[in-house]
Each structure stands twice: as structure tokens, then as C-alpha cells.
Amino acid sequence: MRTYEPTPARRVAFLGLGVMGYPMAGHLARAGHQVTVYNRTVAKAIDWCAEYAAAVGKANQLNYAPTPRQAVQDADLVFCCVGNDADLRSVVLGADGAFAGMKPGAVLVDHTTASADLARQLHATAQAQGLHFVDAPVSGGQAGAQNGALTVMCGGDQAAFDAAQAVAMAFSKAVTYLGASGAGQLAKMVNQICIAGMVQGLAEAIAFGGKAGLDMNQVLEVIGKGAAQSWQMDNRGKTMVADQFDFGFAVDWMRKDLGLVLDEARRNGARLPVTALVDQFYADVQDMGGRRWDTSSLIKRLR
């Protein structure tokens, strides 16, 4: 079980209990914080409270609320992890949104992978209302969330980051400040560019080796000790050989992320020929019925 560095117990809220948010909020509960959760499907929020009340033995410190506004009312820190820009707007803005209920000076830390433009807009809106907003997308996938080992990339005001960093370490191995509002989202785009290229390269290598008659599990063991080694090879190479793709980060989500990358590249003039090509390869995988397959399923196109 994950061990926690002691931090003062805080009143926190967590908005969004998907495959990432559910365990992330759980780590906050295990770390001793008083947590109120919100989820669009209320039944999941009720299940979360029951599960973690049993795990930590402090049912009175874990609650759920029917709207984001109600969930955040007493919170010093609000964490959010939803699907996309539209989802983020829906839980943060409007009469029932988080900003309408947060107390003055509270900090909203958004772990959604969203556009840098939206991060900047929400940062400006928060400032105008006496609040703080940190864009803080994560890398590490579902396994990282479950194991409390996410890497968090943050943009916003330094003081807001400093207020949230220690608490966010409950579900992270690194929480790093990268600069002004939007810097976290831009760093996540860099991350996804790297992953797209590496997965395609690994898929081509495994397909090539298979056509050549090699034992690819053995080959991966060998080359994984040299310069070709990567997280993708260590964690997805053998499952790619075995044609297993029912885990990890879904193709639909990668396409969403690469869409953000390519939109940003059109704005800043960056040339991303490999990324644009791999995005189209993922479209092929979607057409093959692989919308929920893991991103390593790129190899399916090559078999």
C-alpha cells in the first residue's frame, strides 16, 4: 500500500470520478484530508464514499455533493479531472459551477488534459473573482493514478502552485511548476508528441521483427537493455506482441489530446509531420473498432 508523507489535513473537493479521478480522490482520503466529491453520475460518488469510508475508517470526513458549486463550498483546494474542454467548462463555470461556490482565495487545480487557451481563460476568470486556477495535466495513465505515481505539469501563479503542491503529492511522484498559466497544458502536449512517435516506432519495430521470423519477446528483452529502451517498450512491448490492448490509455483520448496538439501547432507555427501522421493512424484504429483500445494498438494497422 502507498505510504504518505504527513501533510496538514485540509478540506478539499474533487470533481470528476473517472478512471483517473476516482483513485486520485481516494489517495487524498487515505492521506487524511476531508474530501467532498462530485461526479456527473451520482451513484459513482456514493460508491466512492462507501469504498473509502471503509478503507480509512472516517466516514464523517468523506462526502458527496450533487453539484460542483455545493462540493467546493468549504474547500481550501479543489481538484478537477474530467474529459475535455467542454466538460471542464461545465463543472467550473455557470450558476452550479465550481467558481460560483468557491470561497475567496481558494485554489482550483485542474488535472484535465485541455487546451492552453481554456486554461488561460479560466485563470483570468478566477483572478477576477478573487480565486486561483492552476492548469495541472498529468502523465502516468490509469496505473499511475491507482498507484499514486502521476507526474503533474503545472502552470499558473507560483503562490497558488505552492499552496497545492504538497497536497497533490498524495497521488503523484512529481508535481512541478513550469511557468505562467497554460504552461502545464503545453508541457502535456510535448509529452503526447513524444509518446505518439515512440509508440509508432515500437509498433513498426515489433511488426518488422515478426515478419522477419524473430522471437520478439526475446528481442525486446535484449534491446530493452540498450539505447532503444523506453517506458513504452518496458510496459507495452510484450502486450503488443501478444495482441492485448484492453487496458491503459484509450485511443479516443489520445486522438483528443493530439487534436489539441495540432491546433496549438497551427497557432504557434510548429511543424509536426510525424505527430500529424500518427494522429491519422489512430483514426484508422478507431475505424477498426478500437476506440477504447490502448494506444499501443497502433500495431494492429501493421498486421
Cα 240 from chain centre: 23
Nearest to 253 by CA among 285, 215, 212, 206: 285
In three-state secondary structure terms, 19 is coil
Clarify whether 256 is annotated catalytic: no
Integer angstrom CA distances of residue 296 from 227, 256, 277, 281: 20, 16, 15, 12
- Which residues are paired to 77 by β-bridges? 12, 107
The residue annotated as part of the active site, out of 44, 58, 173, 188, is 188
Q: Give the H/E segment covering residue 87.
A: helix 85-92
Nearest to 256 by CA among 83, 108, 94, 95: 83
The residue type at 162: D
Phi first, then psi, for residue 124 (nearest 5°) are: -65, -40
Active site residue ranges: 188
